[in-house]
Amino acid sequence: MKDRIYLSSPHMGGNEIKYINEAFEENWIAPLGPNVSNFEKEICKYTNASYATALASGTSAIHLALKSLGVKSKDLVFCSSLTFSATANPITYLGATPVFIDSDYESWNMSHIALQKAFDYFLENDKKPKAVVIVNLYGQSADYDKLKKICDKYEVPIIEDAAESLGATYKGKYSGTVGDIGIYSFNGNKIITTSGGGMLVSNIEKYTKKALFWATQSRENERHYEHKEIGYNYRMSNICAGIGRGQLEVIEDRISKKKQIYELYKEGFKDIKEIQMMNICDYGRSNYWLSVMTIDKNSKVKPIDIILALEKENIESRPVWKPMHMQPIFKDYKFFSTLENQSVSEDLFNQGVCLPSDTKNSLSDFKYIIDIIKKLF
């Protein structure tokens, strides 16, 4: 059997081990140390964010981002519906109530039309959300000018879930720095990895400072252990940060390979009218984390046929994220759709397939994948 082809797996650059060795040599095995503070500085330099706090995961970063904005029990938080559950789960950690917002077909991200509908509905009852969590799906930014205009009008801050989109841009700004607070994930399958980790970035220092405080057990500045608030053990380790530093050195190579993969698929499928690759908007650069396609509803080939045909050849592919408003755990929360009688996110879930986008694979591997899929049509 051929080696398995993955959706997206860790791809080391080479210098990761150097930073890990430095940590070993200086016995910075314990949490924190120079790799953590340097990794934070290097992320700030790369993204032009003013401040950063390295954390244990993207999920913990979202949790502390919400807390930094004062989200508390019974508050409303608007949230993209088409995403991984880690975007929405932390809202419930705080006892707040998520409200799910549909996507548009252009970017697959939060629709300003659905967002406005949600504001209209709640303002009528004198309510507004404490924050809006906007996801940049599969490496592409949402259309922030349109979304920010609405959030600014009602003075509601934005958390940018840039877990999948480090290195992408929106009108010249780096993904994660467009909202009030941005978060990145360095999970194993993301564009770069620390084996597991996350980061919270902002241009407002009080947010990253407060996150750092909570992430280190809310220790007051005393010789003894003094606590006035509940804390968390959410900090990134110095070993993981060493991996991250090596990875950040090769992020531009990874993005250009991911783009090449997307373009190979686009070119490969151009004659099959039932297949459409995810639209890339011209307001910025995508990091092309995953190449994703949709298949027309009336095609005789269904997404599951493609997933099973690839699986037979030991190739991983997956449906698009199942929207949060369709998840059993979130079914009782409100959802606002973009169109009158149709949910865009539901449609993308039903018609979409995430294709292998692993930068370790060769261009001929992708031609092989394209051939397997083409044969079905």
Ligand X SMILES: *Cc1c(COP(=O)(O)O)cnc(C)c1O
Positions touching ligand X (CB under 6 A) are: 57-59, 83-84, 86-87, 135, 161, 163-164, 185, 187, 198
Q: Which is nearer to ligand X, 358 or 365 (CB)?
A: 358
> Tokens 């930068």 — which residue?
359
Helix axes 34-47, 16-25, angle to 10 degrees: 150
Q: At its nearest, how many Å lie between ligand X and the CB of residue 271?
A: 32
List beta partners, residue 183.
161, 200
Whichever of 75 and 161 has its CB closer to ligand X, that residue is 161
Nearest approach in angstroms of CB 95 to ligand X is 20
Nearest residue (CB) to ligand X, 102 versus 164? 164
Minimum CB distance to ligand X, residue 61 (Å): 8
Question: What tokens does 23 get?
Answer: 């940590």
Alpha carbon separation from 181 to 177, 300, 302 (Å, rounded)? 7, 44, 39
Does the annotation count 190 as an active-site position? yes
- Alpha-carbon separation of residue 320 from 47, 181, 292, 303, 329 (angstroms): 27, 26, 8, 10, 18
* Closest CB to ligand X among residues 138, 213: 138
Residue closest to ligand X when measured from CB atoms: 58
Catalytically annotated residue among 190, 210, 257, 258: 190
Which residue number, 185 or 208, has a Cβ lying nearer to ligand X?
185
What minimum distance in Å lies between the beta carbon of 2 and ligand X? Answer: 28
Q: State the Cα–Cα distance between residues 204 and 364, nearest whole angstrom.
A: 46
The beta-strand segments (E) located in 175-296 are 181-185, 198-202, 275-277, 291-295
Amino acid occupying residue 93? Y
Strands 275-277 and 51-55: unpaired
User: How near is the Cβ of 84 to ligand X at its closest, in Å?
Assistant: 4
Pull the structure tokens for residue 34. 């120079």
Active-site residues: which are they? 190
